Structure 1
Amino acid sequence: MYRVRKVLNHNSIIVVGVDNNISADPENDEGLKSYLVLHKGIGFGVKISERLDLPKDASIYSLEKTTERGNAMSIVNAVDPVCLEISDAVLDEAEKAFGKVDRTIVFPMADHLAFAVQRIKKGESIRNPLKDDIRLLFHMEYQVAETVAPVLEQKFGLVINEDEIGFIALHVHSAIVNENVARSLQTAQIVRNCISYIEEKTGHKLEVTSLGYNRMMNHIRYMVTRIETGELLKMNLNDYMELKYPDTFKLSADICNQMSRLLKKSYQDAEIGYLAMHIARVIGVE
């Protein structure tokens, strides 16, 4: 059983958990856990201190959490509740695409959306130089993030651009892999730097729509994860790649060393050969 603490709008309320057998003082919620509840019509006609049985399909979020963007309760009190509803709907789409996700990301995502709404209303824009890389690296996440666009237009009459959608895609990704947005952004930046370095050193402008490009981007993405976690590759192509493609192998070693310095972690030598293989494929060396 829950007691209504605050009505945010027709579709969202804040409640506290209470025991049916205890006549809790409605003026004193000390020691009781607070929750955000999102469900169509959940707030319509309800009164403060009213006791409720929540619908089984309601979204219920603990407000005891602290996220990378601050305390959950503080975010809920600061943002337009419609942004919470939209974020909740995005996570519903993420679950359809990926299965179980970390739904506590609803708070930082809503916070980001609230600031995006403010920016759009003021005619301001935030540039996301990694949006194309994010779209390729986190393709399904980006597709989920795009579901924000029609809802924002319906609720606020606003058009969101691809730069903002790219940032929302990072929030979706963090909900899937339990990785904070800053880390996901760092991964995208590392991949972008690697691609730019390969283009600079080889003189090849890489074709972003090619299968080889996409495979190499994803290889670098998972390479970052392996270096972070210490996961080992099962095969070693170094001898073959160094003999057959010495220049590409040297370029790959340079990239691995740069990545190691940036992440402040060592890498397995076998990473050089595998990355060299992807570089050779994408630039078409014989």
Structure 2
Amino acid sequence: MDAFSVIKSLNNNVLIAEDMNQNEVILIGKGIGFAKKKRDLIESKTVEKLFVLRDREEQENYKKIIDNIDEKTLQSIVDSIEIIKKRINTFTDEHTLVALTDHIIFAIARLQQGLEIRNPFLAETKVLYPFEYEIASEIVEYMNQFLPVHLPEGEIGFVALHVHSAMEGTALNEINRYSQLVSNLIKIIEDQLYITLDRDSMDYVRFVRHLRYTIERVLNGDKVEEPRKMADLLKEEYPVFYNLSWKLIKIMQQTLKKPVYDAESVYLTIHLQRLHENIQLKSKTN
């Protein structure tokens, strides 16, 4: 029978153990460390409900993170990872647990110090990752029942990025880069066209989603058909939007370090023109 041999119990929910190959692991789960002593055995079949940190670097990071964390907070984080696993119905890697734990502890510390947590990409994150945002909302609502502070709405956006990272297996810093790119593009559009976009409007949702799909096509190297005649027409009829579309494309190229096909300027110009037109119509009716 495969089993883990306890080396040391860190608290009721976390312990250091050794597997059958004498590799040191960290086991995390509700009550897993309660009353456990050195050399006690834990059957492998029970570990399916736990998190096993086998990567040495992640182990060391996690040990440092949880050194001063209370058990209620730790358990709420462990439960949150379980919520993610169930909702996305896939494996959640070690890095997600460590990264989310680190983020929540940092957020708690800032709130306890009276420091405001502002998420400048909240609106974009909500539109870019609606499913992840829904899961994150559930997690933050759950955690706020147990944490010593109340996590604000901005934290939902941050947690949503962790959920997306777990789903896609993409590094969190890359996801942050793409979210920041979209936010920067929106700001440039507002500044250039002298408008303020309604973050709750369907026009805004459609446009942000178009930017997301454009970025995904660029990253994947997918080429869209270039309607040459339409490009010439748009350049002549809507020079402001056409030039702005190229400015946005150049920023994408610089940020993503990948070429953007000319055809993207056509579709971007059309979206910009429609967006601006709808804003003008609404302002006249109000």
**How far 1:83 sits from its partner (Å)?**
4.8
**How far 1:190 sits from its partner (Å)?**
0.9
Which residue is 1:210 aligned to? 201
Instruction: Kindly report which structure 2 residues correspond to 1:267-282, keeping only aligned pairs within 5 A, or say none.
Output: 267-282=260-275
State the number of aligned residues.
269
Unaligned ranges ≥5, structure 1: 20-31
Secondary structure of the structure 2 residue equivalent to 1:265: coil
Matched, 1:246 2:248: no
Which residue is 1:5 aligned to? 7
Corresponding letter in the other structure for 1:246: Y
Does structure 2 retain, via aligned residues, the 8 Å contact 1:4–1:14? yes
Secondary structure of the structure 2 residue equivalent to 1:284: helix
Corresponding letter in the other structure for 2:76: I
Secondary structure of the structure 2 residue equivalent to 1:161: coil
CA distance in 2, matches of 1:143, 1:112: 19
Does structure 2 retain, via aligned residues, the 8 Å contact 1:206–1:283? no
Report Cα offsets for 1:39-77 as digits up to 9, x if no partner: 3222222212211104154223223154xxxx4323234
**How far 1:241 sits from its partner (Å)?**
4.7
**How far 1:242 sits from its partner (Å)?**
4.1
Structure with bigger helix share is 2
**How far 1:155 sits from its partner (Å)?**
2.5
Does structure 1 retain, via aligned residues, the 8 Å contact 2:65–2:101? no
Shift in CA distance, 201/190, structure 1 to aligned 2, threshold 3 Å: same
Does structure 2 retain, via aligned residues, the 8 Å contact 1:241–1:276? no
Unaligned ranges ≥5, structure 2: 282-286
Shift in CA distance, 52/262, structure 1 to aligned 2, threshold 3 Å: closer
**How far 1:2 sits from its partner (Å)?**
0.6
Secondary structure of the structure 2 residue equivalent to 1:173: helix
Secondary structure of the structure 2 residue equivalent to 1:13: strand
**Aligned-residue RMSD, C-alpha:** 2.5
Shift in CA distance, 93/183, structure 1 to aligned 2, threshold 3 Å: same
Which residue is 1:42 aligned to? 32
**Between 168-177 and 201-210, the greater mean CA deviation after superposition:** 201-210
Matched, 1:176 2:167: yes
Shift in CA distance, 249/143, structure 1 to aligned 2, threshold 3 Å: same
Instruction: Kindly report which structure 2 residues correspond to 1:250-265, keeping only aligned pairs within 5 A, or say none.
Output: 250-265=243-258
Matched, 1:113 2:111: no
**Between 235-244 and 213-222, the greater mean CA deviation after superposition:** 235-244
1:195 to 186, 205, 216: 186
Which residue is 1:87 aligned to? 77
TM-score between the two structures when normalised by the length of structure 2: 0.83
Corresponding letter in the other structure for 1:76: K
Does structure 2 retain, via aligned residues, the 8 Å contact 1:4–1:51? yes
Report Cα offsets for 1:105-138 as digits up to 9, x if no partner: 1111111111112222222233222222222222
Does structure 1 retain, via aligned residues, the 8 Å contact 2:13–2:32? yes
Which residue is 1:73 aligned to? 60
Identical aligned residues as a percent: 26
Secondary structure of the structure 1 residue equivalent to 2:32: coil
Does structure 2 retain, via aligned residues, the 8 Å contact 1:152–1:158? no
Matched, 1:165 2:156: yes
Which residue is 2:226 aligned to? 236
